[in-house]
Amino acid sequence: MATIRGVIFGSFTSAVQPLDEFLGSRLVTHIGRTLNRPYHILGRYSQTMHCNWKLYAENSRDTYHPSLLHSFATMFKLNRLSAEGGIAMDEAGWHHLVYARRHTDTTSADYDNAALRANEVGYALADPQLIEDWVEWDDGITNSIMTLFPCLNLQQSLNTVAIRQMVPRGAFESELFWTFLGFEEDDERKTRIRLRQSNLFGPAGLISLEDGAIGEFVQKAIRGERVQTTIIEMGGREVGPSPKTRTTETSVRGFWRTYRRFMNL
């Protein structure tokens, strides 16, 4: 057993390496940055994912899909690839961190020219308080997803802080547990904003509900072709950080390289 910033980690093997060594210095620093003061649990729930756990592990590392799949996030400029951001990884390439600064995304000719469905203009929220936020951390990061191998996430999206745990329930099903956090120093207004923003996530969230559906779609496609194999490479086979852009699949490659290593494939 080991802890970092109040988060408890455990292993069934006594030969496990020290926690800070397992995580790597970059991710240890990020945990300390995100959970930088006393916090408490605001709420928790779980959802059934009708797919193998590895599909969600890949989803959380895939930096392309938010702009294409999560139309709410793109439409209201909550998380788009045109914002400043990048990808960090631990020294071994097991874990990854993707981050962005929402308020740097003012205009984007690439999005406009692509005519994406998710980039349609003219829409507005009847209650704009749903996406009300404040820049809470000194580094200006408004979205960060840290994914630890094999299946743990630390999320900061706007002012929503959450821990996600993926638990396999068989070859074709898994369960995703969400734990939402607030900070002890929060006043009533900040707590209300965090709770309101939590409606963007989870099984019925205006952003992440698509993740539950897309995993099932991919699972069905995989089961339909048990023998055939298809590989599409984007940008080579290297694994490493990408400090200036999120348009890379290096994090996905890091996951599968690590999985194959442990499975002796």
* CB burial readout 10-23, b (16+ within 10 A) else e: eeeeeeeeeeeebb
pLDDT at 104: 60
User: Distances from the Cα of 246 to the Cαs of 61, 87, 99, 137, in angstroms?
Assistant: 10, 6, 8, 20
pLDDT at 207: 82
pLDDT at 7: 93
**Cβ atoms of 158 and 150 closer than 8 Å:** no
State the chain's mean pLDDT as an integer: 84
Question: Rounded CA gap, 99 and 146, in Å?
Answer: 8
- Ordered alpha helix ranges (H), 107-231: 109-114, 188-197, 209-224
Q: For the whole model, what pTM was predicted? A: 0.85
pLDDT at 119: 56
Q: Look at residues 38, 10, 48, 9 and name the one whose alpha carbon lies nearest to residue 181.
A: 38
In the structure, what pLDDT confidence band is assigned to residue 82 with cuts at 50, 70 and 90?
Answer: low
User: Distances from the Cα of 176 to the Cαs of 33, 149, 152, in angstroms?
Assistant: 24, 15, 10
**Residue owning tokens 């290297």:** 238
pLDDT at 223: 74
| Paired tokens of 69 | 């799949």
Least confident of 49-53, 155-159, 217-221: 217-221
Greater confidence (103 vs 45) lies with 45
pLDDT over threshold 60, residue 111: no
**Residue owning tokens 């072709």:** 225
**Residue owning tokens 């620093």:** 29
Question: Rounded CA gap, 265 and 262, in Å?
Answer: 8
pLDDT at 112: 58
**Residue range 219-261, pLDDT digits in tens:** 888 876 667 777 777 777 778 777 676 677 778 888 988 999 9
Residue 7: how many other CB atoms lie within 10 Å: 14
pLDDT over threshold 80, residue 69: no
pLDDT at 191: 96
pLDDT over threshold 70, residue 132: yes
Q: Look at residues 43, 45, 24, 27 and name the one whose alpha carbon lies nearest to residue 35.
A: 27
- Considering the chain, what percentage of its residues have pLDDT values greater than 90? 37
pLDDT over threshold 80, residue 143: yes
Q: Look at residues 81, 89, 143 and name the one whose alpha carbon lies nearest to residue 109.
A: 81
Greater confidence (147 vs 223) lies with 147
Q: Look at residues 207, 146, 191 and name the one whose alpha carbon lies nearest to residue 43.
A: 191
Domains identified in the chain and CATH numbers: 39-262 (3.90.380.10)
pLDDT at 114: 57
CA dihedral 56, 61, 63, 68 (to 10 degrees): 0
In the structure, what pLDDT confidence band is assigned to residue 9 with cuts at 50, 70 and 90?
Answer: very high
